[in-house]
Structure 1
Amino acid sequence: MPPLFDIVGFEPKLVLFDLDGTLLDSLPDLYSASVSMAQTLNIAVPNLNQVEQWIGNGAGVLVQRILANQLHTMTIDARLDEALKHFMVAYQQLGNKQSRLYDGVEGLLGELHQSGVRQGVITNKPSRFTEPLLSQFGILHYFDLVYSGDSFAEKKPHPMPLLTAAQQMGFAVDECLMVGDSSNDINAARACGMPCLGVRGGYNHGRDVAECEPDWVIDHF
């Protein structure tokens, strides 16, 4: 039995993972792309701590927050599409060379797979990056489903992706487990009654994920 089951006290049939800040430390590449975008637009470069607090709601929101820190509202709206395009190009060119899987991730995914537990990824990351990223780090084959921030009309913290995952795999929400590092993950799970495990050390806008009141909290895998 995977040690994760001992922590949560039940055997979920489907475990859904967030990506950035949960499985993958992607901050270095997201920060580098943010710097490149800011330099191209000739606006002040954000610092690492700012970018860490602004990620988690998808690339569009990250770019909007960077612009909001520098520009007036009307200017933000006028430059958002241009800025997002520069960010996407920069992020793709970086090739995730600075990102890494968190310690214990591959072992956990393997244990769950060996135990017959179905697994999925639900991220707010754009779909053009999600599966290539999982493939690059050698873990795509563990997942029965992969949902990105543009897979549905709504994304986390809306419960739609979680409910759709449970329905697609044929499980009740209380037979599933959402694992994530931020309020987006915990609030999405809470909104549909899905048990949730918070993981510290990710990207939760500068807050301890325990403050979001997940059912369980761990420091690492």
Structure 2
Amino acid sequence: MENTATLTKPVAMIFDMDGTLFQTETLLLPAYHQLFDILREEGHYEGETPDEELMLGCLGMLLDDIWKKVIPNGTPAAHRRADELLLLLELEGLNNEAAVLYPEVKETLEELHRRGVRLFIASNGLEHYVKGIAKARGIMPLFEGIYSAGEHGTASKVDLVRLLLEQHNIQDAWMVGDRSSDVEAGKENGQTVIGCQYAGFGGKQELKGSDVIIQSFSQLLKHYDQTMPSR
């Protein structure tokens, strides 16, 4: 998996947000518990808060699909309220310095930007959440485009990445992410996939099909430097 002999330097890199750039649990888990406290108070939910691992295991999925797993017996109104509360609580939580990017993410992105790589984000999250993280953590100016399922209404990350590639006329990119949906999005669109294994949210087969797997974000620069220029 570490062999980069067949890789070529990309024109662009497309990054997932949660579990790739951003340590999601540092923001999500406090908001998650507050969310269920409010749902109980408002009569939308009864019983104990579902295990944190259930929510963390759903990262990378569309919100509609997340709530079907986390609150399977919830009403449509409860799911809509959960959407609203999660966004509100997470945006508030961005003011907390404990909600952080992974180590060396900002520095690595800055170096790639200096080298002329076109940088993008493609996330299944809500628009204000994804852009809110990029803005709050000072990486927004590094990206040429930030794409989210919430903004574009795409049914899958495959569709979201396809839209990004078409709108920016990109033929050669690396899709960088930590979930099977990222692998699928890259491969279905004919792109190289760099799997990120440092978050640990998925199982052993989560990144199957990746061209390279990295154990820390800073390794991305090493692989970029070792590749051959594209023809």
TM class by shorter-chain length? 0.7 to 0.9
What is the aligned partner in structure 1 of residue 138 from structure 2? 138
Compared with structure 1, are the counterparts of its residues 177 and 99 closer, same or farther at alpha carbon in structure 2 (3 Å cutoff)?
Answer: same
Counterpart residue number, 1:216: 212
Q: 1:184 aligns with which of 167, 181, 204?
A: 181
Consecutive unaligned residues of structure 1, counting only runs of 5 or more, are: none
Count of paired positions = 209
Cα distance per residue 1:188-208 (max 9 Å; x no partner): 112111111100022644445
Partner of 2:192: 195
2:94 maps to 1:95: yes
**Higher RCO (C-alpha under 8 Å, 6+ residues apart):** 2
Contact 1:63–1:87 (8 Å) recurs in 2: no
* Structure 2 partner of 1:116: 116
Distance, in Å, in 2 between the alignment partners of 1:161 and 1:84 is: 20
SS in structure 2 at match of 1:54: coil
The answer on whether the counterparts of 2:90 and 2:129 sit within 8 Å (CA) in structure 1 is no
> Which structure 1 residue ranges, 4+ long, deviate > 6 Å from structure 2?
none
Structure ranking higher in helix proportion: 1
User: What's the Cα RMSD here?
Assistant: 2.4
* Alignment-mate amino acid for residue 193 of structure 1: G
Query: 1:56·1:203 contact (CA, 8 Å) conserved in 2?
Result: no
TM-score by length of 2: 0.81
2:84 maps to 1:85: yes
Residue 68 (structure 2) pairs with residue 64 (structure 1): yes
What letter is aligned with 2:26? P
Bigger drift between 92-101 and 195-204 goes to 92-101
User: Distance in 1 between the 2:6 and 2:155 partners?
Assistant: 25
Counterparts in 2 of 1:82 and 1:30: CA distance versus 1, 3 Å: same
- In structure 1, distance between residues paired with 2:194 and 2:6: 8
Name the SS of the counterpart of 1:100 in structure 2.
coil
Cα separation, partners in 2 of 1:161 and 1:205, compared to 1, 3 Å: same
What's the % identity of the aligned pairs? 22
Kept after mapping to 2: 8 A contact 1:25/1:102: yes
Distance 1:184 1:7 in 2: 25
Q: CA deviation at 1:100?
A: 1.0
Q: Which moved more, 1:146-155 or 1:190-199?
A: 146-155
